[in-house]
Amino acid sequence: MRLHYRTFLSLVAIACATATLQAQPPAPDLVLSNGKIITVDERFTIAQAVAIKANRIVAVGTNQEIAQLAGANTRRIDLMGRAVIPGLIDNHMHLLRAATTWTRELRFDGVQSRKQAVELLRARAKVVGPGEWVYNIGGWTHQQFADDPKPFTREELDQIAPNNPVSLQESYFQVFLNSRALQALGIEANAPDPPEFVKGSIMRDTSGRPTGVIRGDIPATRPVAAKLPKVAPEQLEASSRALLEDMNRAGLTSVGVPGCNADVLEIFQKWKAQGQLNVRIFCIDGAAGANPEQVDRALGQIPRIKLFQGDSSIDNIFFGESVYGPLHDPMFATKSDPTSDQLQQWRRMAMEIAKAGLPLHVHAELHDTIDAFLDQIEAINKEHPIKSLRWTLAHVNQINASQLERMKNLGMYAAVHPWAVINGAIMHDEFGDGAYDMPPLSTIQKSGIQWGLGTDGTAANQYLPFTTLQFAVTGQMVGGATVNRQTIGREDALIAHTRKNAYLVFQENNLGSIQPGKLADLVVLDRDYLTVPADQIRNIKPVMTMVGGRIVYDASVGGVKNEQR
């Protein structure tokens, strides 16, 4: 059966290649052959070879077909049987914000052993020297340490790094501090909490001594994160570069970015002009109203917003990710109760956004919030149709089938960010069995809505796409516990992380699949995503990542490449 399928696809590929030959195109610059090219085109075609000219794919087919296209100056890469997938796209990651701390952070994304985490902490303390902060801001959970899944204690962190303030933030759920960090934050035994901390968020033992744990959603963790040193302005470029290298190493080539900080964006614009921007950036931006007065002001500004002034390297594509601040669901809330006053302000904003013809990508998480937003959007749609604007609800871990149906009827999209990848254990504590359907991936897939996968990293979630893909296919969070029963097939999961996401960032003509005419963004893998045991998907490592025909990551030369073209 499988052979038959492949033979058919080869015939299709030959027909295409023949057509290309008749047009007598100039020889490609680069040919990748002898691989398993998982094209993720509409038929999910598997091919053997790809030809690239300048920054685009010019042909996809069998080894023989593509070999015929090569000329004397064509560079050839033997894939040695390796699997190749389209460059992975995360439709929602706070990437530019991450640049402001990246090289100062000790990230735990993908660290599967506690022993290793402790070694990393010791090594970092040594490198930065006494008195300097050792910290991270989210993206991990202690449940990911399969060897010893337990939280860090103040005493342990004191022992690991006695001379450094240490702050380790688990998602937005809690922060582990050592004694030096407590001191630096002004948190003391038998003294009142510093005023910037949320009441009750500083954990203390019965004697009033702070345990080192700060707990309670974004407002509780924020005062700690706010005190942590960002990279110095003169280091911002190096930090941004390290960040993009880590993205390429993970197989990411494009990111939808809520909140594109001007200082980091300027650096990316410079690299773009130099032909060295190694991740495509699609900004989701615009100021939400925080109160009715701010809404008044925003209504005057929205008509002047101009999106799509960029290109397939950097562009502004959405208003978002917040419309009205008071209706921005917190991460660990279990229920919401949007008031009619709040919804009225939300509608004033969203109506103006629709009137201005702007795409909208909005944070929508809790069941009642999603219902309330859809009520408003249905009303807005009658006055200013949104059908062609790709209005998107983001996160949607609590969405259900009837809400998906309403969205489909409105021509809306779903940007799905399974927070359970790291928060699965917390969500099971909060929601019980209901957490097994958060997000309801198979319901979303079956609904037929246009949807894509992302993370909401780098604080709310980890950023590694193969960890997200393993979750989608197995329901396993980091560390391996099964926390979701709504799994989907590998092909659908990959489609949602590539071709469907290309649609969610308005780049379906350029990105998302390995097809002639599309930009040459692709990833060569160390093992085959389609056949590796499902519980090892997260261990797949890119060996080469290409963006626009440039090799931006090459494991064989020790990682990073900055090819000039």
Contacts with Zn ion by CB under 5 A lie at: 363
Residues in the chain: 565
Q: Smaller CB distance to Zn ion: residue 369 or 476?
A: 369
Query: CB of residue 394 vs Zn ion: minimum separation in angstroms?
Result: 6
Q: Dihedrals φ, ψ of 34, to 5°? A: 65, 40
Residue with smallest beta-carbon separation from Zn ion? 363
Between 363 and 561, whose beta carbon lies closer to Zn ion?
363
Question: Whole-number minimum distance, CB 320 to Zn ion, in Å?
Answer: 9
Two structure tokens written together for 173 = 């759920």
**How far apart are CB 540 and Zn ion at their closest, in Å?**
27
Cβ proximity to Zn ion: between 92 and 518 the closer is 92
Our CA dihedral for 547, 552, 554, 558, rounded to 10 degrees, sits at -160
Nearer to Zn ion, 170 or 521 (CB): 170
Nearer to Zn ion, 84 or 331 (CB): 331
Nearer to Zn ion, 417 or 538 (CB): 417
Say if residues 88 and 79 touch (Cβ distance below 8 Å). no
Minimum distance, C-beta of residue 94 to Zn ion, in the bound complex (Å):
9
Shortest spacing between CB 322 and Zn ion, in angstroms: 8
Residues 50 and 66 sit within 8 Å (Cβ to Cβ): yes
Q: Which residues contact 165 (CB under 8 A, 6 or more apart)?
A: 131, 133, 134, 135, 177, 178, 180, 181, 183, 184
Q: Rank residues 258 and 479 by Cβ distance to Zn ion and give the closer one.
A: 258
Measure CA 257 to chain center.
8
Which one, 186 or 259, has the nearer CB to Zn ion? 259
Expressed in angstroms, the distance from the first to the final Cα of the chain is 43
Smallest distance, Zn ion to C-beta of residue 218, A: 10
Least distance (Å) between residue 427 CB and Zn ion: 16
Least distance CB 364 / Zn ion (angstroms)? 9
C-alpha distances (whole Å) from 413 to each of 362, 400, 471, 501 are 11, 14, 21, 10
| 554 contacts 544 by C-beta, under 8 angstroms | yes
Cα 299 to chain centroid distance, Å, stands at 30
d(CA 153, CA 145): 15
DSSP for 91-127 reads: S---HHHHHTTTTTB---TT---HHHHHHHHHHHHHH
